[in-house]
Amino acid sequence: MPLRRLKNGFILLSFLIVTLVFLALAISFNQLTLWLIAYFSLGCLLADLLLWLTPLRRIRFTPVKETLRAEESSNIPISFQPRGWFWHLQMGQKSLFLPQAGTLKLKLPPQKRGLQKQIRLPLVATDLSGLLVRRSIRQIESELVILPKVARSEARELARLIQKQQVALNTGLPVETGDHRPYQMGDPMKRINWKLSAKSDELLLREQIAEPEFPILLILWTDSEELISYCYSLLPFLQHIPVELWSTHGIMKPPFAPKQWALYQKSAKALSRPQQKLVICFHENPADPALAALRRSNQLLVISTGPTLTKLVKGGR
């Protein structure tokens, strides 16, 4: 870069010396040709200076709307339209010459989960030689919805553990008697209702209907970004399970908009009291007294962060 600036400076200095020479010759000999060359050279120098002084605020940017992942670098497309003339303008990693519209890719460093309203874009304007430099920072209107980080491997392991817990609770559940139907060859004799069959001209068999699966409720109630990431990543693996986000805006239920994940903040207190369920709660402190109400009327599985990756703490009624 210094070598390039030195080269450009030498070119500009040479052009300036040539201009001064022709101006001196024009004054000395007063010839039209010499005056034209001198005026042309001076005009080029003046145009270079005026174009370099073009206000950078005359560049118009289109508002940006993108959905990103937390803790990941991203390339954001930004459309622009210069409303002026620039010899050389650099925006991010893109160089622009003259009034040329287009789209640049701005590389953003990893961001935190949330909603970002502005993007900082550095602008660098130089003259034709590159010796004169002007810098500016533009704040571009944006709506960057930054979702939680995806923890796919941890979510897959959590889904396996939750399904295993559900199977354990469903094993050995009692059955209830439903309607009766006529006896068919191969049906077990012990299920025949002899009293009811005596009042009929055929053998009647008790229908037995298994209890439905133990209901599950998934609750996100935490300020831990790690647990928010786990819950967000877990949903594709457990699409049949009801989910509630206990936030400062109340209880949020599916389908979740991207902004809900970006703006989620933990509520100050429990927002409901589910009954007779397997409640899986993402909470940073399994010993929190606020979880007592959930433990009294449900099977509670608390998912919290630990020294390694995930720590499961099982509670009961």
- 192 and 270 together in one domain: no
- 163 and 246 together in one domain: yes
Q: What is the pLDDT along the chain (317 residues), one digit of tens a residue?
A: 567 667 767 777 787 888 888 889 888 888 898 899 989 988 888 887 877 787 778 888 899 999 999 999 999 999 988 777 766 677 766 666 556 778 888 888 889 999 999 999 888 887 777 777 888 888 999 999 999 999 988 888 888 888 777 766 655 444 444 566 776 776 777 777 777 777 677 776 666 544 455 688 999 999 999 999 999 999 998 888 899 999 999 999 999 999 999 999 999 998 988 887 888 899 998 889 999 888 888 888 888 875 434 444 344 43
What pLDDT is attached to residue 239? 83
- 73 and 132 together in one domain: yes
What pLDDT is attached to residue 119? 92
List, in sequence order, every residue forming a beta bridge with 68; answer none if it has no partner: 146
What is the Cα–Cα distance from 169 to 47, expressed in whole angstroms?
81
- 124 and 199 together in one domain: no
- 21 and 114 together in one domain: no
Torsion-angle region of residue 37: left (phi > 0), alpha (psi -120 to 50) or beta? alpha
| Boundaries of domain holding 187 | 175-210
Number of domains making up the chain: 4
What pLDDT is attached to residue 306? 56
The DSSP-derived string for 106-146 is: EEEPP--SEEEEEEEEEEEEE-SSS-SEEEEEEEEEEEEEE
| Alpha helix ranges (H) inside the chain | 2-29, 32-52, 152-170, 194-198, 225-234, 258-263, 292-297
- 85 and 40 together in one domain: no
- 218 and 306 together in one domain: yes
pTM of the model: 0.70
- 225 and 193 together in one domain: no
- 192 and 179 together in one domain: yes
Token digits for 141? Answer: 């209107």
- 28 and 110 together in one domain: no
- 33 and 84 together in one domain: no
Q: Are 295 and 275 in contact (CB under 8 A)?
A: no
